[in-house]
Structure 1
Amino acid sequence: MTNNDPDEALLERVASGDKGAVREMVARKLPRLLGLASRVLGDRAEAEDVAQDVFLRIWRQAGKWRSGEALFDTWIHRVALNLCMDRLRKRREIYVAQPPERADPGARPDSGIAMREERDAIKAAIDALPDRQKEAIVLQYYQDLGNIEAATLMGISVEALESLLARARRNLRASLAGDRP
């Protein structure tokens, strides 16, 4: 493994069975993976399941990692996104009379009603976007990825990403203004 990717040395230690390296990998990667999966899925418990699946794959694939093909961080984000998309597809296949009740992920009661309503409206508008537009928005605005990295993760060109982002922003503006795109 080369040292172009700062995670490769850590990955090499994981592959050799170093328990400290596994703990360090989890500490380093878990917050972003949970953030990504939570934003895409809208469900913290499912996001935790996705993160756990990603770490299992890291552990299983650590010894097989081929340096230079992709950045390790790009690979784990792609794995997480694929797992999220699989879960979203499965959700569509389940038909229920009423949606399941969920605990309110909202702000604390003392945070203010207006802020909670605004956040909920934004979340609902993002959740209503088509999957690819939602994925582009989450990667760019919630994962702070640049266009090149986000496009690479999505397996599309930068121009296609920019087009998705433009459509997503238009749809979000229309949704938040009360219009339906």
Structure 2
Amino acid sequence: MERGEEAQALMAALARGERAALARLIALYGPGVQRFIAAQLGSRSEAEDIAQEVFLRVWAQAGRYDPAKGAVSSWIWRIALNLCIDRRRRLGWRRFLGLEAAPETADEAPDAEAVLDGRQRLAQTRAALARLPERQRAALLLRAAGGLATAEIAAALGVSPGAAEQLLVRGRAGLRAQLGPGSREEEKG
């Protein structure tokens, strides 16, 4: 059974209240969703919490899923993206009000020069990603962290496949421009 067909069957089972279906959906999509959220929010621990919220919503709203409107994967990725957007908005507002400190930077005291170089390149790539327009960043992260195809990215972002491809092209070009000539980081991030 193809992954998409399996996901459809699992959603039908979930709508009937079969809890085992949720565990299988988490196995299918959980790791990619968690990587995507971590890349979006910059925090692995927050990614775990938000990923749990994604699948709680999948469980609670399983009966509302409509296969005619798109694939299960697109529906799940859209929930994840919306939760990331909500979380960033809440954090931004709390920081603006002075209720929460800005995140601290990672410890950059590595033991080896190669580790330092890798961390610096990763930090540059993350900073470059953060400077991209939100939809370009989301499209790139859905591709890189989620492994989604262009059609799935389009469905998750609510745009046409052509528009999703343009977001990917512009996002990659933006990363290349920020990271300098010869950089291949945009394909990793």
Same fold (TM over 0.5): yes
Q: Name the stretch that deviates more: 66-75 or 88-97.
A: 88-97
Amino acid across the alignment from 1:128: R
Amino acid across the alignment from 2:60: R
Q: After the TM superposition, which residues 49-60 of structure 1 pair with which residues of structure 2 at under 5 Å, given as runs?
A: 49-60=49-60
The answer on 1:76 being equivalent to 2:76 is yes
Name 1:29's counterpart in structure 2.
29
The separation in 2 between residues aligned to 1:19 and 1:161, in whole angstroms, is: 34
Name 1:117's counterpart in structure 2.
120
Q: How many Å apart are 1:101 and its aligned residue?
A: 2.1
Q: How many Å apart are 1:103 and its aligned residue?
A: 5.1
The one-character-per-residue Cα deviations of 1:116-149 (angstroms, maximum 9, x if unpaired) are: 2212211221122221111011112332222222
Structure 2, unaligned runs of 5 or more: 182-189
The answer on 1:158 being equivalent to 2:180 is no
The separation in 2 between residues aligned to 1:13 and 1:167, in whole angstroms, is: 40
Q: TM-score, normalised by structure 1?
A: 0.80
> After TM superposition, where is structure 1 displaced by more than 6 Å over at least 4 residues in a row?
none
The separation in 2 between residues aligned to 1:18 and 1:161, in whole angstroms, is: 34
Amino acid across the alignment from 1:43: S
The one-character-per-residue Cα deviations of 1:24-71 (angstroms, maximum 9, x if unpaired) are: 232222111101111111111221222111111111122343343321
Amino acid across the alignment from 1:137: L
Q: Name the stretch that deviates more: 9-18 or 128-137.
A: 9-18
Name 1:146's counterpart in structure 2.
149
The separation in 2 between residues aligned to 1:109 and 1:80, in whole angstroms, is: 36
Structure 1, unaligned runs of 5 or more: none
Q: How many Å apart are 1:76 and its aligned residue?
A: 0.5
Q: How many Å apart are 1:171 and its aligned residue?
A: 2.1
Q: How many Å apart are 1:109 and its aligned residue?
A: 4.8
Q: How many Å apart are 1:113 and its aligned residue?
A: 2.1
Q: Contact 1:38–1:47 at 8 Å: present in 2 too?
A: yes
Q: Contact 1:5–1:72 at 8 Å: present in 2 too?
A: no
The answer on 1:129 being equivalent to 2:129 is no
Q: Contact 1:122–1:176 at 8 Å: present in 2 too?
A: yes
Q: Name the stretch that deviates more: 41-50 or 89-98.
A: 89-98
Name 2:39's counterpart in structure 1.
39
